[in-house]
Amino acid sequence: MSRIDGPVLLQTKGLCKSFGDHEVLKGIDLEVRRGEVVALIGPSGSGKTTVLRSLNGLETPDQGTLAFDGGPSVDFGQGLPKQQRFAIRDRSAMVFQHHNLFPHRTVLQNVIEGPVTVQGVSKPEAVAHAEQLLDRVGLADKRDAYPHELSGGQQQRVGIVRALALAPDLLLFDEPTSALDPELVGEVLVVMKELADEGWTMVVVTHELQFAREVADEVLFLDGGVVAERGAPAQLFTAPQNERTRRFLDRIL
């Protein structure tokens, strides 16, 4: 049982996705409640990133359903109108492995880009919100810096602020620390932990098992395009039921 018993924000059933004849997702069921942190772990190539990208429309599953925040269930096998298909796209924000900041724009310009151009927020309002968020992650003094003037950890914190500036209902993290030098990983994980504590709803693909163990409400272990095991971290990490989970954890921990 998850410690979170809020309303279900996101539910997928039977998500399948192939690239050519490579079947990458073979029926993924996922449920995320408001305020919940769900971690996706598993070996490289098991489909974690494809799950995440399927949630916000960067990939379109071939089969399966997705329901978001009480809206109509979208059946990917049926080819529904685009706007219906991706309501979730407007209300989720993704933090990528590489921060993807615009190199020729300042930190502040990067952060206000989405709210101003996509969401139609007024510039003064977007700036005020951006400054508040930058302050929160300890980067208030970097607002006029360019991305290349920042460390990798600072860049990734700006990447997180850029996602938060969209005021999303759901934060999606795709291995946000895996491109960082080891000494920079901690500062990013601290911010993510604070967001979890503040009640943000998060789906996190991560290799940081200690983080998953401490922060996640539910952990899904993916292997070969299926959820081989799911459960509370205390259970999954200490007493995995599935042989494949056990082998994976033995290798990593």
Considering only residues 122 to 181 of the shown chain, the ones binding ligand ADP according to CB under 6 A are none
Q: Rounded distance, CA 225 to CA 51, Å? A: 9
Q: Which is nearer to ligand ADP, 52 or 111 (CB)?
A: 52
User: Counting beta carbons within 10 angstroms of the beta carbon of residue 10, is it exposed (0 to 12), middle (13 to 18) or buried (19 or more)?
Assistant: buried
User: What is residue 237's DSSP assignment?
Assistant: H
Binding flag, residue 19, ligand ADP (CB under 6 A): yes
Q: Which is nearer to ligand ADP, 154 or 156 (CB)?
A: 156
| Beta carbon of residue 201, minimum distance to ligand ADP (angstroms, whole number) | 20
| Beta carbon of residue 44, minimum distance to ligand ADP (angstroms, whole number) | 4
Q: Rounded distance, CA 215 to CA 203, Å? A: 11
Q: Rounded distance, CA 52 to CA 42, Å? A: 13
User: What is residue 150's DSSP assignment?
Assistant: S
Where are any strands of DSSP class E within 7-109?
8-19, 22-33, 37-41, 63-68, 74-75, 92-95
Considering only residues 32 to 61 of the shown chain, the ones binding ligand ADP according to CB under 6 A are 42, 44-50
Question: Site map for ligand ADP, 225-244, x if CB under 6 A?
Answer: --------------------
Considering only CA atoms, which of 62, 118, 112, 131 is closest in space to residue 91? 118
User: What is residue 223's DSSP assignment?
Assistant: E
- Report CA torsion sign: 181, 182, 185, 186: negative
- Report CA torsion sign: 13, 229, 231, 45: negative
Q: Which is nearer to ligand ADP, 111 or 173 (CB)?
A: 173
Q: Which is nearer to ligand ADP, 107 or 236 (CB)?
A: 236
- Report CA torsion sign: 250, 49, 158, 69: negative
Q: Which is nearer to ligand ADP, 50 or 155 (CB)?
A: 50
Place of tokens 């069921």: 29
| Beta carbon of residue 49, minimum distance to ligand ADP (angstroms, whole number) | 3
Task: Say how many residues touch ligand ADP, by CB under 6 A.
Answer: 10
Q: Which is nearer to ligand ADP, 2 or 97 (CB)?
A: 97
| Beta carbon of residue 86, minimum distance to ligand ADP (angstroms, whole number) | 18
| Beta carbon of residue 43, minimum distance to ligand ADP (angstroms, whole number) | 7
| Beta carbon of residue 58, minimum distance to ligand ADP (angstroms, whole number) | 10
Q: Which is nearer to ligand ADP, 47 or 176 (CB)?
A: 47
Q: Which spans of this chain sit near ligand ADP (rule: CB under 6 A)?
A: 19, 24, 42, 44-50
